[in-house]
Structure 1
Amino acid sequence: MPFSDNEVLDKILQSMNNYEGPVSQETLCNHLKTPPNRTVIRVNTVVTSKEILKDDIEKALAVQYDFKGVPAPIVQFHSKIDDILVVECNQKTEKVEPIYPHVMVGLACAVAVLRGANVYAPGVTAIPSGVYIGDRVSVFADILGQCKRGWNSEYQGQKFFVGNGLLVQNRKDLFTVAVPSGLAINMIEPLFDCPSIGDILHEDTIGGIQKGFLQNLPSVLCGHALNLQSHHLILDLCAAPGGKTTHIGCLMKNKGKVIALDKSVAKIKRIQENSTKLGLTNITAFAFDSIKAYIKIPENQLRGVDIITVPPIPESPPFHPYSFDRVLLDAPCSALGQRPQLYNPIRLKEVQSFARLQKKLFVAAVQLLKPGGRMVYSTCTYNVSENEEIIDWALGKFPFLRVVSPDIKLGKPGYRVGRLTEEDCIAMQRFGCPASCGSQNENSDAIGFFICCLERIISKSV
């Protein structure tokens, strides 16, 4: 079971059964433990085309799968989204069974392996003595994070098998240096046959600039829902690690200006690194608390008043109200929709705490949005209180906001709660509810995700 707190699982199931139809606990748990069957690659349209990147990936996958002795998966264009490629992975490799010895890796490393990655040195926590370069090993996730680094015997704690591979670094190189680096295990028999796209993209560059970027399908839709123009001034609140930020930069053709905020200095560095990898120069990132990102004015001045002239934007936050044409609020959330999830220690009380933070961030987003401007609110959780109930609250607090439908819509409608109309719910997008029939489509195969697009109505009053 992926959640340590049964109440969290019960909460997800209750909302799914109320709004989606019957979903069993077993179906949901199996769904959460498996990676999406489709790998999505966002094309860096600033430096290349989808046709060129498709050709590059097809050639690289042909080599990768020739080594495995099976046909390579097909790389396809998407019928509605013009700047992504979709690789439909093969199904679970049923014949893969664990062997000895067992190598332990951290939970994050194991999740990456399930989505097609090899094992890199920082993720390895334990290798039994007597194992050498070239040996076949089984890779296991340390579910509870209790395996001591450098452990030299078979680990007997709770673990999850993710596949078999060939060891390419020995114990000494992995555990006697402060910061181990490089490839540690080449995964020749992963539990799920997801292609190793990350390494391909890292090597497929133009002048050192990556041609593509791995991103979940619903995340790509957030940028498109903003309906961006190259002259816009954009604010991305809670922007790390920068996947959506860099997509915005690409959609704006590396023009205009994108401001990215996050509280963490380390996370801001990630945004800057990803921007550099993709050759984007229209992104400026600040380590700043997004709740405090606006210069406060009396709240009654926000209601029904449209400011035509806005002071020049400061060089750094906080910013004047009404400063931005577009605002993205990909809010911190309980992340209950992430896949694969092998173990999540979150408790119900913590899940229930996110809505309070999300409302504070929503206030900041609304304060900074221009009249006539558009904002997108998104989360990677199934939790209704972090999704539709936040929008219901916002429409009550800010009557000058309205829910609008994006140009590209792939998700299921939102859930009807509170004052939300049927039209509102149809405009929203929900992803990742497991298909009860077992046949996964583009929506149910995705991570659990919620998107709502809103516009600030231009009032006639002053």
Structure 2
Amino acid sequence: MKHPFWYGKLILEDLGSQFNLDELFESLRTPGRHMCLRVNLLKASPEEVMEELEEKGYKPYQPFKEVPEAVCVRVEGPFEIPRLERFVIADKYAAESVYVGANLYSPGVLKSEAEPGREVSILAERTLEPVAIGISKIGREVPERGIAVEVTLSKYKAPKFRELKAFEEGKVYPQSLPAMVAVRALEPEGLVVDLNAAPGGKSFHAYELLKGKGKVISFEVSKKRANKMRREMRRLGHEIELMVKDSRYADLDFPELVEKADRVIVDPPCTSIGVIPKVWDEKKDEDMLNSFKYQIQFVKVAYKLLKKGGLMLYSTCTLTKKENEEVLDFAQELGFEIVERDTPWGKAPVKVVPYVHQEPGFFISILKKP
């Protein structure tokens, strides 16, 4: 097995027309060069956060002067992970967390050939690739909750941001650099409407950049994700109006918002091909085609909600033309105009590519309603 990526023929053709697939797939298996925090500028300064990181033994840095709130720490690795006699098999999502240093929790265990107190390999489901080793807390019977394996060595070692005092106090939010650059490119002002809000990073960033001089209304269709977002809002100290509604009908459900928004954020569900690291991935052609049909519905609503001269951020964490450039083609047919914006990776519309930029795969574009 050269690369554990099972993608449909159309997806492979789409990606292959843009990228070297071997290099792309190799880069999707790594977490990139760093993990980043966005400093909540309403509560703290980057210097204050960097000081705490230094006290913890990290070497933080600010990668771009255009995004002063971004503070990053290098990811260590890759390390050689031995395959031991005793093992635990983890599901894809648990394996991807363990891959960068998290402990393995019971809900993520699919099979255990372990003994309590013994050293074990943690293998990813499907590929059975060793992602970490650690000390098992469980035997063959897997309890419903709790730590299953305390990880001692993982393929990569990411900083543990959630253990910071600054995290507890709502002074930071872990977020990828491209996502921060995307919101900066939008230049939030006045009324900002986020049509695909959870987990909330872009809404929160827009709120912080407004500095109390505007308003953010966020839509999230899933009650569970909305509740999680509310908890984050409390931690950060943000006052955002959160609507647990399907934003594809926002113009009908909230006619008072029509032609009232200064800025709209559209970061719709997608095939997530740019999300890293992946231990493996599978996507069918219909996943991409259905995503496109879904994405353009949010673009239509964004056009209706925007004032004349208002701006839309259209971004995704995927790399296909279908879900990015072709959505922009649709947006232009609707009446949107593309606005060029400088980013650290070239002028937007821009694609951030893992093997080129050592960042998660991401698409950033700004469009204007004339």
TM-score, normalised via structure 1 length? 0.74
The amino acid of 2:343's aligned partner reads: K
C-alpha contact 2:220 2:226 (8 A) present in aligned 1: yes
* Structure 2 equivalent of residue 409 of structure 1: 343
C-alpha contact 2:106 2:143 (8 A) present in aligned 1: no
Counterpart CA distance in 1 for 2:64 and 2:7 is 40
Counterpart CA distance in 2 for 1:320 and 1:184 is 48
Do structure 1's residue 268 and structure 2's residue 226 form an aligned pair?
yes
Please list the CA deviations of residues 130-160 of structure 1 after superposition, one character each: whole Å capped at 9, or x if unmatched. x114x322111223xxxxxxxxxxxxxx422
* Structure 2 equivalent of residue 170 of structure 1: 138
The amino acid of 2:122's aligned partner reads: V
Q: Equivalent of 1:90, from 68, 72, 76?
A: 76
* Structure 1 equivalent of residue 125 of structure 2: 142
CA 1:258–1:28: 2 relative to 1, 3 Å: same
The amino acid of 1:431's aligned partner reads: V
Report the secondary structure of 1:175's partner residue: coil
CA 1:363–1:159: 2 relative to 1, 3 Å: same
- What does 1:16-27 correspond to in 2, within 5 Å? 16-17=18-19, 23=20, 25-27=21-23
Do structure 1's residue 287 and structure 2's residue 244 form an aligned pair?
yes
Q: Equivalent of 1:351, from 275, 288, 309?
A: 288
* Structure 2 equivalent of residue 124 of structure 1: 109
C-alpha contact 1:44 1:211 (8 A) present in aligned 2: yes
Please list the CA deviations of residues 103-128 of structure 1 after superposition, one character each: whole Å capped at 9, or x if unmatched. 22221111122234232343233332
The amino acid of 1:213's aligned partner reads: Y
Counterpart CA distance in 2 for 1:160 and 1:9 is 25
Do structure 1's residue 209 and structure 2's residue 169 form an aligned pair?
yes
1:76 Cα deviation after fit: 0.6
C-alpha contact 2:100 2:155 (8 A) present in aligned 1: no
The answer to which structure, 1 or 2, has the higher relative contact order (CA under 8 A, 6+ apart) is 2
- What does 1:362-377 correspond to in 2, within 5 Å? 362-377=299-314
The amino acid of 1:240's aligned partner reads: A
Please list the CA deviations of residues 141-188 of structure 1 after superposition, one character each: whole Å capped at 9, or x if unmatched. 223xxxxxxxxxxxxxx4221111233x3349x8344xx14x443322
Q: Equivalent of 1:188, from 127, 139, 152?
A: 152
C-alpha contact 1:3 1:9 (8 A) present in aligned 2: no
Q: Which runs of 5+ in 1 are unaligned?
A: 18-22, 63-71, 144-157, 296-315, 413-425, 436-443, 458-462
CA 1:186–1:379: 2 relative to 1, 3 Å: same
Structure of higher CA gyration radius: 1
Over the matched positions of the two proteins, sequence identity in percent amounts to: 27
Counterpart CA distance in 1 for 2:170 and 2:99 is 23
* Structure 1 equivalent of residue 163 of structure 2: 200
C-alpha contact 1:102 1:138 (8 A) present in aligned 2: yes
1:372 Cα deviation after fit: 2.0
* Structure 2 equivalent of residue 448 of structure 1: 361
Do structure 1's residue 41 and structure 2's residue 41 form an aligned pair?
no
The amino acid of 1:107's aligned partner reads: K
Q: Which runs of 5+ in 2 are unaligned?
A: none
C-alpha contact 1:395 1:402 (8 A) present in aligned 2: yes
The amino acid of 1:90's aligned partner reads: E
Please list the CA deviations of residues 173-230 of structure 1 after superposition, one character each: whole Å capped at 9, or x if unmatched. x8344xx14x443322111232333x324x445xx5322121111111122122123x
Counterpart CA distance in 2 for 1:119 and 1:176 is 12
Please list the CA deviations of residues 355-376 of structure 1 after superposition, one character each: whole Å capped at 9, or x if unmatched. 2211111010010011121110
Counterpart CA distance in 2 for 1:354 and 1:142 is 26
CA 1:4–1:26: 2 relative to 1, 3 Å: same
* Structure 2 equivalent of residue 5 of structure 1: 7
1:14 Cα deviation after fit: 2.3
Report the secondary structure of 1:140's partner residue: strand
Counterpart CA distance in 2 for 1:9 and 1:324 is 35
Report the secondary structure of 2:282's partner residue: coil
Counterpart CA distance in 2 for 1:58 and 1:120 is 29
1:255 Cα deviation after fit: 5.3
C-alpha contact 2:138 2:149 (8 A) present in aligned 1: no
1:411 Cα deviation after fit: 2.5
* Structure 2 equivalent of residue 427 of structure 1: 348
CA 1:433–1:204: 2 relative to 1, 3 Å: closer
Report the secondary structure of 2:61's partner residue: strand
* Structure 1 equivalent of residue 264 of structure 2: 327
Report the secondary structure of 1:31's partner residue: helix
Please list the CA deviations of residues 82-117 of structure 1 after superposition, one character each: whole Å capped at 9, or x if unmatched. 101111223311x33222311222211111222342
C-alpha contact 1:262 1:268 (8 A) present in aligned 2: yes
Q: Please state which structure has a larger fraction of its residues in strand.
A: 2
1:254 Cα deviation after fit: 5.0
CA 1:86–1:164: 2 relative to 1, 3 Å: same
1:433 Cα deviation after fit: 4.9
Do structure 1's residue 32 and structure 2's residue 15 form an aligned pair?
no
Report the secondary structure of 1:367's partner residue: helix
RMSD: 2.3
* Structure 2 equivalent of residue 15 of structure 1: 17
The amino acid of 1:50's aligned partner reads: P
* Structure 2 equivalent of residue 310 of structure 1: none
C-alpha contact 2:203 2:218 (8 A) present in aligned 1: yes
Counterpart CA distance in 1 for 2:4 and 2:173 is 28
C-alpha contact 2:11 2:285 (8 A) present in aligned 1: no
Please list the CA deviations of residues 239-267 of structure 1 after superposition, one character each: whole Å capped at 9, or x if unmatched. 11112121122222355321111221111
C-alpha contact 1:35 1:114 (8 A) present in aligned 2: no
CA 1:142–1:333: 2 relative to 1, 3 Å: same
Counterpart CA distance in 1 for 2:183 and 2:7 is 34
